[in-house]
Structure 1
Amino acid sequence: MNSINVGTMIDQSKFNHFHGLVLFWCAFIIVFDGYDLVIYGSVLPSLMKEWSLTPNQAGALGSAALIGMMLGALIFGPLADKIGRKSVILFCIALFSLFTGLIGISNNSLEFGIYRFIAGLGLGGVMPNAIALMTEYSPRSLKSTLVSIMFSGYSIGGMLAAGLAIIMLGQFGWRSLFFVGAFPLLLLPLMYKTLPESPRFLLNKNESNKIGKILTKVNPTFTYRENQTFEQMKTEEAGAPVIKLFKSGRALSTIMFWICFFMCLLMIYGLNTWLPKLMDSAGLSVSGLMFLFVLNFGAIFGAVFGGRLADKWSPKAVLLIFFTLAGVSLTLLGLVNNIVLVYVLVAFAGASTIGTQIITNAYISQYYPTEMRSSGLGWALGIGRLGAISGPLIGGVLLTMNLPFYQNFLVFAIPGILGALALCFVQESYSSSKARERYLKEESLTSDVQ
């Protein structure tokens, strides 16, 4: 009996209820990652007032979660490549949910920072694994689209945080917003029951029955028979997953991806932390929180539209346009004072910063082979978190310098251009998708000969 190539069957499948279930859970996870991103910026004015924080102190406190997210991505990404994605995802959800809830009972900035750091470990660890799992189960023709739709949860979470802050902050106080962040704990049992494990991990453990049951859901026309054998594309390379990122011609592209992530996350976290404060100080809005809402609303359109373009065209070409658009929109944002134009530019900034990050996640998840996918994403996000840490700190320094309004945004625009330049040096000829195309071509030729 011929072996079934699991990767090929998933690649050639049509989107159905099973794919939708994976999409739902991965998007649900990312919603709370986005919620955490925006919630700090939403409560920041209240925290500064209650605990008498200076802008520099507030920027440092905001970086506590980002340091945790960096370490979480570096640790849990490679770990999942070794022990499976599902168990790591569930552990990370429990970790960030529990400690986000505990932030609501913190009594001082030290406790707040410690809880944020531990929650950040879980948030950093869950993101690369959710992206990798979605990529593994997506049909080939929809990989960028589905990962981008999934990651739109990031922006939905940001909009949820800004919206709840507008409604709840005055009536219930800032602590109530962190209690909401503990909600995923309640759904862990259901997620444990319905979220599938990585197909590659099941193959490595010879879990044929589980693979067979999953493939009947991936492709309802497939009938699993006992003792059916399965295989994957033979691209496994020797060595630890992190070392593999620099093998087979991928070294330069790996470094360039890290630079892209650094620049993009610097823009995202700098804006989401300080945008309300910058706009309020310029007298451009009654509520700076509305700008966070618009920023993340624009990101949804950027992610979905850009993801679909990436599937139809080229992820690299789309990202070059988006990085450039980020630099242009942020530059213009500091030069206009018409409120309508400001809102439009904020939406474009959201589409081209958060949207760019989402499409980059989809791109990198397809660039690396599946056995190092979480490591590739985890390390890119981990190194990128240095940019995320820098964003709030840079914003705090800018406010203390009392620079002209346009110069504040110009500082955040420069990384967009640098990200585009780094992306130019990514070598697509060494990507996993190109390797799979060569593999399928060779298989086709072999079949023709036989």
Structure 2
Amino acid sequence: MHKINIHEIIDNARFNQFHWLVMCLCALLLIFDGYDLFIYGVVLPVIMEEWGLTPLEAGALGSYALFGMMFGALVFGTLADRIGRKKGIAICFLLFSVATVLNGFASTPTEFGIFRFLAGLGCGGLMPNVVALMNEYAPKKLRSTLVAVMFSGYSLGGMMSAGLGIFLLPTFGWEVMFFAAAVPLLLLPVILLYLPESVGFLVRQGRNDEARALLQRIQPDLQIGQDTELEIVEASKQKTSVLDLFRDGRLVGTLSIWVAFFCCLLMVYALGSWLPKLMANAGYSLGSSLSFLLALNFGGMFGAILGGWLGDRFDLGKVVVVFFAVSVVSISLLGIKTPMPVLYTLITIAGATVIGTQILLYAAAAQFYGLSIRSTGLGWASGIGRNGAIVGPLLGGALLGINLPLQLNFMAFAIPGIIASLAMMLFVLSSRRASVAAAPLMATKA
């Protein structure tokens, strides 16, 4: 009997049809996730008028789904470790799809908020599990790029939401936007049939035959017999705590990445929730306002792919600093009257450097923390960021409530980008110092 390390097989595998399948299915799930999350910004101008909501009330209503996301990530992340990523993903997908359909039947803001919270639970649980599954199966040299390409499905979902809104809202009303979420439910059997389970989970459960079959698909020329023992190398047998994130020179880096996550997600959800309404207030038609949201998400998809490519070739922290700096300029210029082609270009750039940067931050955090504390580091950074996502719609509502000029609204949305850019500069310097400090230790061990 001989042993094989499943991580080595996956890391060194050549990209093949199996990887395509995993990436496409995960991207498809994130398309539906993105549709659900950006749908609120699409229907916001209509429901504010129909229900007589103040900007502050509308901002609070938009935050319910984001509260749900925060709890969903905690609940379903833990649950998936026990029942498997595939079942966890299927439960989350079913939950947010059904809750979104029920949103179309809401007759009061209270009912609407309850269903948005439930949908947020599913969305929040789906995203980390899908990212973790893609990370597990992606070859090491393509990992950042494949995760970025997969994550572009999130922006594509936002584009679908805005595109459908342009055609359906004027004729059928806001309810049909939520009823459309019933269509993805038809794909649930496909997800259950073709999405692979985590190979690590299968090995830990003693389901070695299923694990061997998956490894054979990952590396078809590999000889795996019934006598082959599958080995998982755990990074550390010791329990980790959040305090480990601040040890060994990581204090400044951890605080910096937390600030960057918070500010980035604040901008993502402030723009996603309020861009159509701000543009409608500026005199643009509903169709034009929704097309701006379309451009924002198209930029996010492009920025995710470009950022992943640049992150694999250059210093990722510096790439993030540049993205944040460009986002500040592009968002600040949105409040100035410009020709339509220029305005669309600015919105696309803003989407690329805000939504795209959200994905780069996950990669930067994963590279900063060692394997033994990586899950803890990502979990806490994401959790801090979710607080920014909750604040974003509330901030937009508060700004509209005091009737600021359009330019000042967008300048206020850009301020978190300045803070995030400065935080990431500190992060780059901290990472460099940590690497220099670790070099003598590595040499001694060698």
TM over 0.5: same fold?
yes
Letter in 2 for 1:415: P
Letter in 2 for 1:287: S
Letter in 1 for 2:332: T
User: Could you tell me how far 1:248 is from its partner in structure 2?
Assistant: 6.4
User: Could you tell me how far 1:33 is from its partner in structure 2?
Assistant: 1.8
Provide the C-alpha distance between the structure 2 equivalents of 1:280 and 1:225, rounded to a whole number of angstroms.
64
Residue 404 of structure 1 aligns with which residue? 405
Residue 182 of structure 2 aligns with which residue? 182
Letter in 2 for 1:163: G
1:12-23 aligned within 5 A: 12-23=12-23
User: Could you tell me how far 1:241 is from its partner in structure 2?
Assistant: 7.1
User: What does the per-residue CA deviation read over 1:74-100, in whole Å, with 9 as the maximum and x for residues that have no partner?
Assistant: 332344345432222111111111111
CA contact (8 A) 1:97 1:182 kept: yes
Residue 155 of structure 1 aligns with which residue? 155
User: Could you tell me how far 1:52 is from its partner in structure 2?
Assistant: 1.2
User: What does the per-residue CA deviation read over 1:228-279, in whole Å, with 9 as the maximum and x for residues that have no partner?
Assistant: 1122334124226767656666565444333222111111111111111111
**Tell me, what secondary structure is at the counterpart of 1:4?**
strand
CA contact (8 A) 1:200 1:371 kept: no
Which piece of structure 1 moves more, 268-277 or 280-289? 280-289
Stretches of structure 1 that go unaligned for 5 or more consecutive residues are 446-450
CA contact (8 A) 1:104 1:178 kept: yes
1:50-129 aligned within 5 A: 50-129=50-129
Residue 173 of structure 2 aligns with which residue? 173
User: Structure 1 residues 197, 70: closer, same or farther in 2, change over 3 A?
Assistant: same
Provide the C-alpha distance between the structure 1 equivalents of 2:43 and 2:403, rounded to a whole number of angstroms.
22
Provide the C-alpha distance between the structure 1 equivalents of 2:53 and 2:125, rounded to a whole number of angstroms.
29
User: Could you tell me how far 1:212 is from its partner in structure 2?
Assistant: 1.3
Letter in 2 for 1:359: L
**Tell me, what secondary structure is at the counterpart of 1:287?**
helix
User: Structure 1 residues 64, 138: closer, same or farther in 2, change over 3 A?
Assistant: same
Residue 294 of structure 2 aligns with which residue? 293
Letter in 2 for 1:165: G
**Tell me, what secondary structure is at the counterpart of 1:226?**
coil
User: What does the per-residue CA deviation read over 1:116-157, in whole Å, with 9 as the maximum and x for residues that have no partner?
Assistant: 001101101111111111111111111111111111011110
Q: Does 1:226 align with 2:226?
A: yes
Provide the C-alpha distance between the structure 1 equivalents of 2:131 and 2:390, rounded to a whole number of angstroms.
22
User: What does the per-residue CA deviation read over 1:323-357, in whole Å, with 9 as the maximum and x for residues that have no partner?
Assistant: 11111211222235332211111010000000111
Residue 272 of structure 1 aligns with which residue? 272
Provide the C-alpha distance between the structure 2 equivalents of 1:124 and 1:241, rounded to a whole number of angstroms.
23
Provide the C-alpha distance between the structure 2 equivalents of 1:346 and 1:300, rounded to a whole number of angstroms.
13
Residue 417 of structure 2 aligns with which residue? 416
Provide the C-alpha distance between the structure 1 equivalents of 2:432 and 2:10, rounded to a whole number of angstroms.
23
User: Structure 1 residues 255, 420: closer, same or farther in 2, change over 3 A?
Assistant: same
User: Could you tell me how far 1:208 is from its partner in structure 2?
Assistant: 2.3
**Tell me, what secondary structure is at the counterpart of 1:403?**
coil
Residue 145 of structure 2 aligns with which residue? 145
User: Could you tell me how far 1:111 is from its partner in structure 2?
Assistant: 0.5
Residue 448 of structure 1 aligns with which residue? none
Which piece of structure 1 moves more, 338-347 or 244-253? 244-253
Residue 332 of structure 2 aligns with which residue? 331
Which piece of structure 1 moves more, 246-255 or 185-194? 246-255
User: Structure 1 residues 153, 404: closer, same or farther in 2, change over 3 A?
Assistant: same
Letter in 2 for 1:22: V
Letter in 1 for 2:10: I
Residue 216 of structure 1 aligns with which residue? 216
Which piece of structure 1 moves more, 34-43 or 422-431? 422-431
Which piece of structure 1 moves more, 346-355 or 280-289? 280-289
Provide the C-alpha distance between the structure 2 equivalents of 1:247 and 1:25, rounded to a whole number of angstroms.
38
**Tell me, what secondary structure is at the counterpart of 2:288?**
coil
Provide the C-alpha distance between the structure 2 equivalents of 1:159 and 1:200, rounded to a whole number of angstroms.
34
User: Could you tell me how far 1:189 is from its partner in structure 2?
Assistant: 2.5
User: Structure 1 residues 10, 288: closer, same or farther in 2, change over 3 A?
Assistant: same
CA contact (8 A) 2:152 2:304 kept: yes
User: What does the per-residue CA deviation read over 1:304-334, in whole Å, with 9 as the maximum and x for residues that have no partner?
Assistant: 1111111122322221211111112112222
User: Structure 1 residues 378, 32: closer, same or farther in 2, change over 3 A?
Assistant: farther
Provide the C-alpha distance between the structure 2 equivalents of 1:2 and 1:193, rounded to a whole number of angstroms.
31
Stretches of structure 2 that go unaligned for 5 or more consecutive residues are none
User: Could you tell me how far 1:222 is from its partner in structure 2?
Assistant: 0.8
Residue 388 of structure 2 aligns with which residue? 387
Letter in 2 for 1:414: I
Calculate the TM-score normalised by the size of structure 2: 0.90
User: Structure 1 residues 261, 179: closer, same or farther in 2, change over 3 A?
Assistant: same
**Tell me, what secondary structure is at the counterpart of 2:132?**
helix
Paired residues, what number? 438
User: Could you tell me how far 1:377 is from its partner in structure 2?
Assistant: 3.8
Provide the C-alpha distance between the structure 1 equivalents of 2:276 and 2:173, rounded to a whole number of angstroms.
18
